[in-house]
Amino acid sequence: MLLRYRFRLYPTGPQRAALARSFGCARVVYNDAVAARKRAHADGKPYPTTAALSKALITEAKRTPERAWLAEVSAVVLQQALADADRAWQNFFDSLSGQRAGPRMSPPRFKRRSNTQSIRFTRNARFRVLGSGKLRVPKIGDVKVAWSRELPSEPTSVTVVKTATGKYYASFVVALDGEATLPPVEDETGIDLGLKDFAVLSGGKVIENPRFFRRLERKLTKAQRVLSRKQRGSANREKARARVARVHEQIRHRRDDWINQQVATIVAENQGIYVEDLSVRGLARGRGAKSIHDAALGMFTDRLASKAARAGRTFAKVDRYFPSTQLCAACGVLAGPKGREGLRVREWVCRCGAVHDRDLNAAVNILEEGRRMVAAGQAETVNASGGQVRPGTPGIARNTRPAGRNEEPTRTLTTVS
Ligand SMILES: [Zn+2]
């Protein structure tokens, strides 16, 4: 299993200048590769191979006055830029031929200076974490890293990223075997995802919606409104655009940190974790823009699934049609609040005399149903690589995990921050 670890970097002035050169060179090679293949296509010629492109766009280009500066940066960075262009084409072709799931993709586009920039160093580029804690980056120097946690083993590659807001990150890929990394525990939990509260656990714990969701949402709306009023191409518009990007980044960081904390606690404390399928929630809420809260719910269950898998825990989603809210957890009769009005009922009394908090009762039902499904082999459980396994066909990985922030999608990566 491959994991991605991301840390903030603090390059010095000269290092930033060297990075800018490397970003620029990688972008040029990438764009040249995209252009070369577009040209071949337009001329009705076969697609040039990566080896041919490497020779023409790197080795030979370095000898021309227009591209001589390519020699100033690490050759690995340029090769990796070619590999990225290759993968972008491959993804495009796979999506055309139906081999790749999801919507049709457009052919690779040219990269621009104003977007997120990145360069990747593989192990043969001889990047190194020094005893001092600095990261030695070829042709850049020894860069200061803010280590927020330890790398579990030697990384196989590092991507240096500069965001649209001007921050630098190192994103390490580390290979791990899929063994359980947490000691086994006794408890299991069912989780009801809420509107009023973020989540209610069957043990009675309530995870409240953090206040910063609403606060940052207001901030974003305001920044976007300001941006929409600025004239195209004006300096003020550029400033407003940067502000929107900053708020987005703030939301991403706070939300990710918060979700990671909640997920880590739940996985540490529970051997079995069962949640309801979220597609039902979407229906209950109706259409409209996705709030931070809604987006966070999906992220929360995704990360629970992958973290549970890494820790060797059982994780399953309960069928979307399972009536978790209406079932009485005490007697098993369908007696609870129904439909849209049911969303407003906080507490209800069953015919059997049991008094229920609606969400807690639902969480207990989700726990029981999740256990039943897993025992019966009906659950969509998660395998060690974090991919989903279809019920009844154990061992066949289906979905792939999304890649980390600011990264192009990579099939087997899980983000750890
Ligand atoms: Zn009852």
Ligand 1 centre to CA of 365 (Å) is 12
Q: Can you give the pLDDT at residue 246?
A: 93
C-alpha dist (Å) from residue 190 to 205, 214, 298, 322, 333: 11, 26, 16, 13, 19
Q: Can you give the pLDDT at residue 312?
A: 81
Q: Can you give the pLDDT at residue 43?
A: 92
Annotated active-site residue in 32, 192, 256, 302 = 192
Indicate the class that CATH gives domain 188-382: alpha beta
Ligand 1 centre to CA of 255 (Å) is 38
Average pLDDT for 310-331: 87
Q: Can you give the pLDDT at residue 393?
A: 28
Ligand 1 centre to CA of 368 (Å) is 15
Ligand 1 centre to CA of 192 (Å) is 19
Ligand 1 centre to CA of 330 (Å) is 5
Average pLDDT for 225-230: 93
Contact 312, 179 (CB under 8 A): yes
* CA torsion, ordered 341, 343, 347, 351, to nearest 10 deg: 60
Show Cβ contacts of residue 172 under 8 Å, excluding neighbours closer than 6 positions.
4, 5, 6, 7, 151, 155, 157, 158
Where in the chain are the domains?
2-175, 188-382
Assign 402 a pLDDT band (cuts: 50, 70, 90).
very low
pLDDT surpassing 60 at residue 380: no
pLDDT averaged over every residue in the chain: 83
Q: Can you give the pLDDT at residue 291?
A: 77
Q: pTM, whole model, 2 decimals?
A: 0.57
Ligand 1 centre to CA of 361 (Å) is 11
pLDDT tens profile 28-68: 999 999 999 999 989 999 888 889 999 999 999 999 999 99
359 is catalytic: yes
Neighbouring-strand partners of residue 348: 356
Show Cβ contacts of residue 211 under 8 Å, excluding neighbours closer than 6 positions.
none
Annotated active-site residue in 84, 188, 256, 276 = 276
Average pLDDT for 96-114: 79
pLDDT surpassing 80 at residue 412: no
Ligand 1 centre to CA of 353 (Å) is 6
pLDDT tens profile 8-18: 999 999 999 99
- Name the most confidently modeled range: 283-292, 347-356, 403-412: 347-356
Kindly calculate the radius of gyration of the chain based on its CA atoms and give it in whole angstroms. Answer: 25
Q: Can you give the pLDDT at residue 107?
A: 85
Assign 236 a pLDDT band (cuts: 50, 70, 90).
very high
* CA torsion, ordered 165, 168, 174, 180, to nearest 10 deg: -60
CA-to-CA distance for 151 and 141, rounded, in angstroms? 21
Worst-scoring range by mean pLDDT, 28-42, 79-93, 186-200, 308-322?
308-322
Specify the amino acid at residue 339. Answer: G
Ligand 1 centre to CA of 175 (Å) is 50
Contact 140, 22 (CB under 8 A): yes
CA-to-CA distance for 121 and 138, rounded, in angstroms? 8
pLDDT surpassing 80 at residue 413: no
Average pLDDT for 130-151: 90
Nearest Cα to 83, choosing from 47, 61, 51?
51
Specify the amino acid at residue 116. Answer: T
192 is catalytic: yes
pLDDT surpassing 60 at residue 4: yes
Annotated active-site residue in 84, 188, 359, 368 = 359
Average pLDDT for 303-311: 86
